[in-house]
């Protein structure tokens, strides 16, 4: 992992190796934090962060759902991120902001613990591999169901909730697959361990709706818009497990995985990435890298610090 030299921690820039917390930090014990995964790309204009404001808005919403106010404004977090990237010298990188309950009283009530914040950046290649992005990955349906709103908050990107994804990920890797697909509590298709899912049949694109306990993915939203702009019909509806197997094309979207096609599910071949997947992937890649003027507003340029 090629990391920056510094981390932004509670309003200060500190050396990477000095960015530490107390072992009784509430979030370590009870998962009481919320976070984002964001990417910055090299474009013709410099380094630009994809949908930065949308990610910061979701961070704030996730915090609210867990009774936390952001301890710094979104603008302060945005500027700190710009400074970190500029100082790192990275042309493209992954960005991880985290807002969490810090060291204070132990016990389940976190309301008297301080709310702290950090942002880290590092260079991170394609999460499911460049080869996966090109030719597709193999997945299995997980034996774990995606968390439901009966017991947690699928809409929040909250630390403790990720134990669900961690178990499904380990299970799929140990069984020899690259990714796991989780069903929701009703047995419909929900999403991957860190990606939303799209299923294409007879030219129509379907993706599970908000009520299917998905994370409201920012790349999902982007790909829905791109597909509609390309003239495709996109329907948000419940998807039965067999529809993935019988699909003409399936792809996953997420900040880490970007757009990665699925070529096999449960040892049944879907096939190499198809023409609709390829077309959306191409436009999406252009949008990420600043080559699609119609989506230029999705990019937040990292200012180059003045030499003075």
- Distance (Å, whole) CA 93 – CA 104: 33
Kindly state whether residue 220 participates in binding ligand PLP, applying the rule CB under 6 A.
yes
Kindly state whether residue 115 participates in binding ligand PLP, applying the rule CB under 6 A.
no
- Residues 264-303, interacting with ligand PLP (CB under 6 A): none
306: CB partners within 8 A, 6+ apart: none
Residue 266 CA to its chain's centroid (Å): 24
Min dist. Cβ of residue 101 to ligand PLP (A) = 20
Q: Is 157 a catalytic residue?
A: yes
**What is the x/- site pattern for ligand PLP, positions 19-58, by CB under 6 A?**
------------------x---------------------
Kindly state whether residue 207 participates in binding ligand PLP, applying the rule CB under 6 A.
no
Specify whether the CB–CB gap between 70 and 99 falls below 8 A. yes
Name the CA radius of gyration of the chain, rounded.
Answer: 19
**What is the x/- site pattern for ligand PLP, positions 155-194, by CB under 6 A?**
----------x-------------------------x--x
Kindly state whether residue 97 participates in binding ligand PLP, applying the rule CB under 6 A.
no
- Distance (Å, whole) CA 108 – CA 166: 22
The DSSP secondary structure of 23-61, one letter per residue, reads TTBHHHHH--EEE--EEEEEETTEEEEETHHHHHHHHHH
229: CB partners within 8 A, 6+ apart: 283, 294
Neighbours of 90 (CB within 10 A): 21
Kindly state whether residue 254 participates in binding ligand PLP, applying the rule CB under 6 A.
yes
Min dist. Cβ of residue 58 to ligand PLP (A) = 7
Question: Which one is catalytic: 20, 91, 157, 174?
Answer: 157
Number of residues that bind ligand PLP (CB under 6 A): 14
**Residues involved in catalysis:** 157
Interface residues with ligand PLP (CB under 6 A)? 37, 165, 191, 194-196, 215, 217-220, 253-255
């Amino acid at each position: 992992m090629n990391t920056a030299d510094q981390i932004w921690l509670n309003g200060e820039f500190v050396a990477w190796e000095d960015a530490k917390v107390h072992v009784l930090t509430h979030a370590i014990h009870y998962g009481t934090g919320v976070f984002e995964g964001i990417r910055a790309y090299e474009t013709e204009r410099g380094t630009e962060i994809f949908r930065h404001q949308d990610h910061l808005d979701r961070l704030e919403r996730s915090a609210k759902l867990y009774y936390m106010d952001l301890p710094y404004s979104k603008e302060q977090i945005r500027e700190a991120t710009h400074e970190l990237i500029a100082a790192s010298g990275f042309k493209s990188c992954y960005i991880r902001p985290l807002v969490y309950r810090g060291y204070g009283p132990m016990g389940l009530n976190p309301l008297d613990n301080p709310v702290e914040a950090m942002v880290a950046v590092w260079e991170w290649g394609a999460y499911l591999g460049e080869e996966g992005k090109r030719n597709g990955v193999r997945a299995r349906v997980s034996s774990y169901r995606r968390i439901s709103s009966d017991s947690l908050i699928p809409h929040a990107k909250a630390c403790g909730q990720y134990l669900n994804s961690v178990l499904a990920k380990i299970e799929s890797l140990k069984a020899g697959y690259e990714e796991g697909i989780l069903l929701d509590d009703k047995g419909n298709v929900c999403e991957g361990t860190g990606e939303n899912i799209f299923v294409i049949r007879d030219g129509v694109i379907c993706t599970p709706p908000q009520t299917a306990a998905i994370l409201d993915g920012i790349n999902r939203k982007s790909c829905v818009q791109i597909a509609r702009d390309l003239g495709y019909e996109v329907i948000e509806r419940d998807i039965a497990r067999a529809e993935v197997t019988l699909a003409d094309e399936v792809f996953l979207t997420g900040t880490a995985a970007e757009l990665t096609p699925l070529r096999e599910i449960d040892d049944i071949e879907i096939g190499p990435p198809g023409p609709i997947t390829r077309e959306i992937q191409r436009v999406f890649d252009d949008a990420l890298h600043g080559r699609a003027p119609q989506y230029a507003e999705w990019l937040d340029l990292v200012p180059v610090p003045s030499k003075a």
